[in-house]
Amino acid sequence: MKMVEAISGMTRTYTFVFDPDPEGGFVVTCPALPGLVTHGATIEEAREMARDAMEGYIEVLIQDGEEVPESDAPQVAPRFARLAHTLRAEKAATPIFERLSAQIATAV
């Protein structure tokens, strides 16, 4: 069975880090998807850009026959938030952690 057939129709949910950019907007990364970085001027735009980047990232993984990472556990976002709060300087802006989902399509 091909990789696309094996995972098609599944939903993956990952934790995204929306880090306030000192120059404005948000820089978005996803620890489960190494190299995924995007930006949005507002939190809404950053979410939209993150979803688009996630879908494109997963599409490339499937096209290349690579494994799509499993979804993050629901408790990952609160753990990341606690860790970030602990590691941040007192006056630094606190990142926002959100879980976003992507439906993996059959036709890729």
Q: How does pLDDT run across 89-106, given as a tens digit for each residue?
A: 566 677 888 888 888 764
Q: Are β-strands 37-40 and 96-103 bridged in parallel, bridged antiparallel, or unpaired?
A: unpaired
Give the integer Cα–Cα distance in Å for 49 and 20: 15
What class does CATH assign to 3-99? alpha beta
Give the integer Cα–Cα distance in Å for 69 and 25: 28
Determine contact, residues 39/49, Cβ cutoff 8 Å.
yes
Mapping DSSP to helix (H, G, I), strand (E, B) and coil, where does residue 51 land?
helix
What pLDDT score does 104 carry? 77
Give the integer Cα–Cα distance in Å for 44 and 68: 26
4: pLDDT strictly greater than 50: no
Q: How does pLDDT run across 65-85, given as a tens digit for each residue?
A: 999 998 877 777 667 666 666
